[in-house]
Amino acid sequence: MSTAVLDTPTITSSFIDVLQSLSEKERGVIERRVGLSGHRETLQSIGDSFQPSITRERVRQIEESGIKKVGRIIKASVLSDIQALANKFLALHGGVLTRNKLINAIVKELSLSSDMNAAIIELIVQSDYNIAKSKPKLGTQTYFTLPDAKKKTIEAAHKEALRILKKRKDVMQRTDLYAQIADSLEADHGSLETVFLDSALDIFEDLVKGEETLIGLSKWKILNPKTLKDKAIYVMKKEKVPMHFIDISNQITSYLGEQVKVNTIHNELIRNTEFVLIGRGIYALKEWGFKPGTVIDVIVDVLSQNGGPMNTEEIVKQVLKTRNVKNTTIYMNLQNKKIIERVGRNYYQLKQA
């Protein structure tokens, strides 16, 4: 790499100088695509501005032609340092990085100012013949690769990650997932390094990483809770026990750094069927096997499942499995003669019709 200091003004002015070697059409398209005037334009808007208008595909072809020329010219300029950095960071990550991660790494490495036009950095990287940029695809982030990082391997890793996670039906440690993927794909794709798999799976929006070491499916909303309901579920799954609504509010603040009013979280718990009230202000998740209902509803369910009379001790034991209430509350509900009848010393059954 050269010894030139690459700051925002130097990069911008050097890039503008490079563009002077392009045709007028190529220069105009690239200037508008990277937003040299302050606003990045789409292929469609640029095509429509021509007289007569040209297609998006034709604009893309002009842009691509210009980028190839930029790549040749940059090799003899200070901007080649940026391409060298891009190659370095890609190599460190198994040959693949999302656009955002790569550009951010370069900006950080060069200590560039916040007003640096990231689109200029991106085009400089894209113009390197050793680096490939992905085409837009629904559900993925744009990414860059070195020649050894094959698209089919990246897609196979994604497909295998989905298969494993769907079968498991829960988040898992990233290292465990990567080890299983590497095992499954070794025969067809060779030895896959953890750093490659970790970087490759960043591309796909149906996967989400969280809590430093975990990975799961985005649709589970476990690792990236957005709504207050999702955040409450997240906290309760972390604690793995029924919780008082005040504790849920406090733990949302602790885990996610978000202040939540106690009344707000309580209202959310009341109105969503995912949560079951099992005691005075205490909630459990429905998916844990808890059913909504009052104490008498639970007693009826217990007696129905038993199919015959039960003594008080057995009834209390079963009710306390799904309700956090005092024993006396259960005793009082057993006195409901419209629903329950006593059939012996401390024995009860559902009232017979």
Of 152, 105, 155, the closest CA to residue 125 belongs to 105
327 within some domain: yes
Domain containing 336 equals 295-350
Q: Are residues 25 and 79 in the same domain?
A: yes
144 within some domain: no
Q: What is the pTM of this model?
A: 0.74
Residue where a domain stops, chosen among 240, 269, 288: 288
Residue where a domain stops, chosen among 239, 273, 288: 288
2 within some domain: no
CATH number of the domain to which 306 belongs: 1.10.10
Q: Give yes or no for a contact between 292 and 277, defined as CB atoms under 8 angstroms apart.
A: yes
CATH number of the domain to which 171 belongs: 1.10.10.10
Q: First and final CA of the chain: distance in angstroms?
A: 91
Strand order in the sheet with 96-98: 96-98, 143-145, 132-133
Q: How far apart are CA 159 and CA 177, in angstroms?
A: 12
What is the pLDDT, as a whole number, of residue 211? 79
Q: Are residues 170 and 280 in the same domain?
A: no
Residue by residue, pLDDT tens for the chain (353 residues) are: 554 678 999 999 999 999 999 999 999 999 999 999 888 999 999 999 999 999 999 999 999 999 999 999 999 999 999 999 999 999 999 999 999 999 999 999 999 998 899 999 999 999 999 999 999 999 999 999 999 999 999 999 999 999 999 999 889 999 999 999 999 999 999 999 999 999 999 999 999 998 789 999 999 888 888 899 999 998 998 898 999 999 999 999 988 888 999 999 999 999 999 999 999 999 999 999 898 999 999 999 999 999 889 999 999 999 999 999 999 999 999 999 999 999 988 899 998 86
Q: Are residues 335 and 263 in the same domain?
A: no
Q: How far apart are CA 105 and CA 177, in angstroms?
A: 26
DSSP secondary structure letter of residue 209 = E
108 within some domain: yes
Q: Are residues 238 and 205 in the same domain?
A: no
145 within some domain: no
Q: Are residues 106 and 46 in the same domain?
A: yes
Q: Are residues 159 and 122 in the same domain?
A: no
Take residue 345 and report the two structure tokens written for it. 């010393």
What is the pLDDT, as a whole number, of residue 229? 92
Task: Please state the separation of Cα 347 from the chain's center in Å.
Answer: 53
Strand, coil or helix: 63: helix
Tens of pLDDT along 214-237?
Answer: 999 999 888 888 899 999 998 998
Q: Are residues 241 and 278 in the same domain?
A: yes
Residue where a domain stops, chosen among 218, 248, 264: 218
Q: Are residues 101 and 20 in the same domain?
A: yes
HSE (CB half, 13 Å, CA atoms) of 42? 5
Q: Are residues 99 and 12 in the same domain?
A: yes
Q: How far apart are CA 232 and CA 209, in angstroms?
A: 19
57 within some domain: yes
- Residue 139 CB partners (closer than 8 Å, separation 6+): 204, 205, 206
What is the pLDDT, as a whole number, of residue 3? 45
1 within some domain: no
Q: Are residues 99 and 55 in the same domain?
A: yes
Query: How many domains is the chain built from?
Result: 4
Q: Are residues 182 and 272 in the same domain?
A: no
Q: Are residues 207 and 305 in the same domain?
A: no
Q: How far apart are CA 169 and CA 174, in angstroms?
A: 15
103 within some domain: yes
